[in-house]
Structure 1
């Protein structure tokens, strides 16, 4: 069972030293977990789970129990988020420990794959494929008849706002459009668990808002939505639960809102906005008290902004875009600030600290 977070979400779990002794087995599982299944369970359970790739640590000694709703896995690149997601989806099996997803274990892959929808952060599209064909192909792989696959694919594409582009080749899509067509693939078979690796990357503010509402709607139906991000503010207002991952360990859990509020004054969020009129955006940004800095990029196609109110800034961006005052190409985090916030949160806790 996971450790509860203290007020403000800053309870840190002391990391345990990596376990590589193959003779040291995980404790005997509870009888309900024998065979990797809990009949009728609606939870996702990881019990003393470790995953090694040869001698390389993926994750180590993970204990989590996730109830339905939105859960965010937060950590920098290489922290173990993707390994955790691959374990939950059944794409990889644990080296040690037990995994149970809605009563299904990795030894029942076909049932597990039907219960889970996975949207990876990587673009792996067959060359020349069109959006509708991409989603329909995955439904056929799930075993749907051609007519049902067509119907479900079109419904999923409409749900992510991509109907007008469904007949176009994916290779000509923008980054945000590729993200949305991958999301359509993940939701098309109506999974009970939706696993999303960095799903907001490259989305403009309007698409971002629509995508977040889609996640909330899924969660409201009693489903799991597991999202990874290295951007704390992205999950501030979204996730009911946050799992902070560092070096293959879970180092903290809880609501991130209190953490962001506490850190906002000393570590404002940095955002890079790619747009056609950065000077216009800078003038508008400085009208808000929460913006502490705005710098136009040397190439004249972007604006670097530091703000103490991320959601307020995104609302302002959405308003400008909706009014046609600026055309936004992308909204990207500034990794140096995200990394510094992350380091502040984990403090001295690191693998190997006793």
Structure 2
């Protein structure tokens, strides 16, 4: 039996409906479905739960990770740890499945190998059309380089402790897990005989990246960082990379406790931010917490400050808040993501709030 795993956060409901509708009409019903909500906002989470009531085969899990960067790796790992089937299929809420997809996957699944599948990409207009699977017009198809839609033996995934939780935001986690499974001795076969799933159009996430601070969490250069980490794992021929606590996320109790912490305000002076990163964070002891909000130095945007800086006079050396964001997020996702923490940008973009418990 297969568990179909959807990692999800704040996506539109029609997209969810079309994907689940395609699972609802599978010719083979011998599968389970888990939707891991990686911290959608309250309104979206409530609406998705209401929608899912129409799909009794879907098991919904809400994680208290909404104030953390997106990590497909961690969302998938959460479900992989809990799966009680022989196989896990790594789905995407953008997918529309052919009616015989589960039947094909159940027929060809093997405990000693993985499978991955080509995807037919739809145009924006075609994605919103309501058609039977074989009536959709495919704009283009993926090849064997696209490794995302994969079926793996659950036990093999557990042997390597799942997806590498270094990966946050977007990029490289699929190629990495393929390489590490192959290193374990588990081949991955590309099923290119026909298209059995379609991708609903959406804007390219890379195109939404901004050089300015935004409320939606972003980290400049993260795709390149992820690619470098993938190459490192490959060169080192790693199989297992996560700790024994892989797939475990912040719980509701810790989340609520962090929300109650008083916040210490600090400025964007380079010396202050650097000390936070290299002086305070590394010295946190078990059970200790840290709760700060980084705001701009009061004089940072004043005419006097800018004039003195222009004239080469001594002024406090400051990071922009965007630079503070990138520095702090880079530290968090590479060194502290296994700890309970929250990270928020204020509504007016004037502050960065970070709370963490060791």
Same fold (TM over 0.5): no
Whichever structure has more strand as a proportion of its residues is: 1
Structure number with greater CO (CA < 8 Å, separation at least 6) is 1
TM-score (normalised: structure 1): 0.27
TM-score (normalised: structure 2): 0.26
